[in-house]
Amino acid sequence: MSILTPDILAPDEIADVVARVMRDFPGEYWQRTDRERAYPTDFVTAMTEAGLLSVLIPEEYGGAGQPLSVAGRILMEVHRLGGNAGAAHAQMYTMGTVLRHGSEAQKAEWLPRIASGELRLQAFGVTEPTAGTDTSSIRTRARRDGDRYVVNGQKVWTSRAEHSDLMLLLARTSDPAEGEKRTAGMSIFLVDMREVRGKSLTIRPIRTMLNHATTEVFFNDMPAPAANLIGEEGKGFRYLLDGLNAERLLIASECVGDGRWFVETATRYAQEREVFRRPIGQNQGVQFPIARAHIAVETAALSVDHAMRLYDAGQPCGAEANMAKLVASEASWQAGDTCLQTHGGYGFAEEYDVERKFRETRLYQVAPISTNLILSHVAEHVLGLPRSF
């Protein structure tokens, strides 16, 4: 039963709802799942039952119908309280592709079941080994065959595929015509993995430095019903771009949460840890880095809030969303480095939980978009500099 109602909008009310859920998931829980490389199923279930993962789904489909800023606050609080929403955050922004571009029949069929937790939509197959960030070069093909498509190809860095029922898949359905952009001819499908997993769809886990449940996915003559094509054939790249601002801002919110956890943790340790018969926080060499980290995180939070307001108002915010993601990811990393340094050798000890959060927050300068790509976007589209190669 959801404990989030459509009337809850204030940040303190959202924080209270998240705190109630997070009471059952202290640091020890996250240390154990990290150590065992286990998917935090109990956490995802609790978030679902509380209505926190369906917050962006409209009320008529069983969600709370809240703006993106509310979703961002939820993820930020999870991370501020020591958790990691990476196991479930994609359900918030991948759902938006179905909501904005799916047919009425598709929305009626899938969104209520996603909102209730009957189905998980947490995987998005975009990146490929030979394409990387050059999405226009993807090779995964979907060939029309009567009332279905047949898909062949491979995706990589597809997180949560093993723990998701549904996947959004970007595949090429045709080659660009002469004069068209290279991104023409790509389409998006909603894949019901329950029907093809272990048959025409194979999932191979990728072991990484953090517990992010990421995988390679292989498609071997995988059938995809034509009824599961999202929007119009050939316009999938446009639909993909449409959801990127939301993705950037939700990830930036998580970074702010991480940054605040690091600052709070470092401050507490600096007050409690005594060396030479006085707390180490009495030394400016310890104080000042923590203060700088705090300033960086709170400045990033202002940037995220500003971009969120633009997004919720339906105004253009591509540059603002990208800049917010960049400064938030760098601020959380700065705070993480400061927290680790404040703890000294103990920062590397598992029991203090700093090293886990340190590893986790480093991801966000690489994914879902790298810092260099954001800089390239700002240079070209904001400053008007020549396109770089």
Count, in order, helices (H) and strands (E) of the chain. Answer: 13, 10
**Whole-number Å distance between alpha carbons of 71 and 8:** 12
86 CB-contact burial (10 Å; exposed 0-12 / middle 13-18 / buried 19+): buried
First to last CA, the chain: 51
Among candidates 57, 222, 61, 100, which has minimal Cα distance to 152? 222
Catalytic: which of 77, 128, 247, 254? 247
Where do the H-state alpha helices sit in 117-216?
A: 193-196
**Whole-number Å distance between alpha carbons of 123 and 125:** 7
> Who's near 241: CB < 8 A, 6+ residues apart?
none
Within 10 angstroms of residue 356's Cβ, the number of other Cβ atoms is: 20
Question: Is 232 known to be catalytic?
Answer: no
214 CB-contact burial (10 Å; exposed 0-12 / middle 13-18 / buried 19+): buried
Active site residues: 247
